[in-house]
Amino acid sequence: MGKRTPLYDMHISQGAKMVDFGGWDMPINYGSQIKEHNIVRSDAGMFDVSHMTVVDLTGDKVRDFLRYLLANNVDRLKNEGKALYSCMLNEKGGVIDDLIVYYVKDTFFRMVVNSSTREKDLAWINKQAESFAVTVTVRDDLTMIAVQGPNAREKAHLALGADTAAQIKNTAVFFIKFVNDSNMGEIAVARTGYTGEDGYEIMLPKEHASTFWAKLAEQEVVPCGLGARDTLRLEAGMNLYGSDMDETITPLEAALTWTVAWEPADRNFIGRAALEQQREQGVATKLVGLVLEDKGVLRNHQKIFIDGLEGGEITSGSFSPTVGKAIAFARVTSNIANTCKVEIRGKQLAAVVVKPPFARNGKSCI
């Protein structure tokens, strides 16, 4: 038996098909992954993402600590509540994890890191935090529910009730708001997500998880599994840690150069020297988006051929319900032009190279 989130019984009662996901029993779908995917693009869906790790960082030097820990620069966060996506690198520039950090106030930042990387992340963060006297608190007392889709916020407001809704409804994109909810106590509502749609990620005390999930269901927010979450994030052009990058891959090789804050040049962050060297020398491989022209489905680890020579592999591949074709990220040699071939069961099928996202805000970008 795997670890269970506070919503486990709820998932079972809603007919979820459960799978092992990094040691957690998680819903892969509740019947149809494609229906769940489409509902998030057209209306509102909810995801149990309580397996992810919420880490609170507090102390007088927490900003200095994050300036050193992360490849992106928390000094880009000027307003309280603003969020930043960043990689956390090792000395070689390899990605230990990708994460979102929320600037709550000058002595308090909240980070959400992946579940599969939890132990190594915490070990690394704690080790680096020592010299900054930053307190690292893992918030296992919280559950996280993502409500995503064009109608997600409106429905979440109804589920949360008028008082809380009034406090969060003006939250801007990529901001978090802490609220004292009359039913649930302190909750945090972030206008972030992993689907390419508007919506919230809501962190709330565990003991209220089932009640709140049921309230969302009353507003006809549809439960969605990790299957739909994966196709949604792929369409939205968002990387998956462990598939699209890991500790042997730098952000420059993972289409994440935009998340590296080179300026100011005197900001010393872990991995900087390695990244600068790589930037100067150029990268041998890069991550690109592919759309399969022929019929078939792109899958992880299928081989890519460029001008007849093997030149990489697919890191995340699937059928895209929104585009109606197979799409993928592939790590390929830097000489790739506009097209390539993908080997599927011994046949070489034609694919075009595109710049993700493949779909966002309900529409195909292809």
Partner 1 sequence: MSEIPQDLRYTKTHEWIMKNDEGTLTVGITDHAQGLLGDLVFIEAPEEGTTFQEGDDSAVVESVKAASDVYAPVDGEVTASNEALEDTPEIINNDPFGDGWIYKIKPEDSGAFDALMDAEAYKELIESADE
Among residues 127 and 345, whose Cβ is nearest to partner 1?
345
Verify binding: residue 297, partner 1, rule CB under 8 A.
Answer: yes
* Nearest approach, Cβ of residue 366 and partner 1 (Å): 16
Return d(Cα 214, Cα 205) in angstroms, integer.
Answer: 15
Select from 60-68, 199-207, 248-256, 289-297 the region that touches partner 1 (CB under 8 A).
289-297
Using CB under 8 A as the criterion, what x/- string covers residues 311-340 for binding partner 1? -------xx-x----x--------------
Return d(Cα 71, Cα 242) in angstroms, integer.
Answer: 18
Verify binding: residue 28, partner 1, rule CB under 8 A.
Answer: yes
Q: Report residue 349 as tokens.
A: 């099928």
As a residue count, the chain comes to 366
Q: Which residues fall within 8 angstroms of residue 62, CB to CB, at 6 or more apart? A: 106, 107, 108, 109, 132, 134
Q: Which of 12, 34, 166, 214 binds partner 1 (CB under 8 A)?
A: 34
Verify binding: residue 47, partner 1, rule CB under 8 A.
Answer: no
Q: Which residues fall within 8 angstroms of residue 241, CB to CB, at 6 or more apart? A: 95, 97, 98, 114, 116, 117
C-alpha dihedral, 241 to 244 to 246 to 249, nearest 10°: -150
Asked whether the beta carbons of 210 and 50 are under 8 A apart, the reply is no
Verify binding: residue 231, partner 1, rule CB under 8 A.
Answer: yes
Q: Which of 276, 296, 305, 343 binds partner 1 (CB under 8 A)?
A: 296
The total of other beta-carbon atoms located within 10 Å of residue 46's CB is 30
- Looking up tokens 């915490």, which residue turns up? 122
* Nearest approach, Cβ of residue 109 and partner 1 (Å): 36
Return d(Cα 230, Cα 277) in angstroms, integer.
Answer: 33
CA angle 88, 25, 52 (to 5 degrees): 25
Among residues 235 and 253, whose Cβ is nearest to partner 1?
235
Verify binding: residue 148, partner 1, rule CB under 8 A.
Answer: no
* Nearest approach, Cβ of residue 237 and partner 1 (Å): 18
Touching partner 1, residues 59-78 (CB under 8 A): none
Q: Which of 82, 208, 286, 299 binds partner 1 (CB under 8 A)?
A: 299
Q: Which of 266, 295, 309, 338 binds partner 1 (CB under 8 A)?
A: 295
Task: List interacting residues with partner 1 (CB under 8 A).
Answer: 17, 28-29, 32-35, 227, 231, 295-297, 299, 318-319, 321, 326, 345
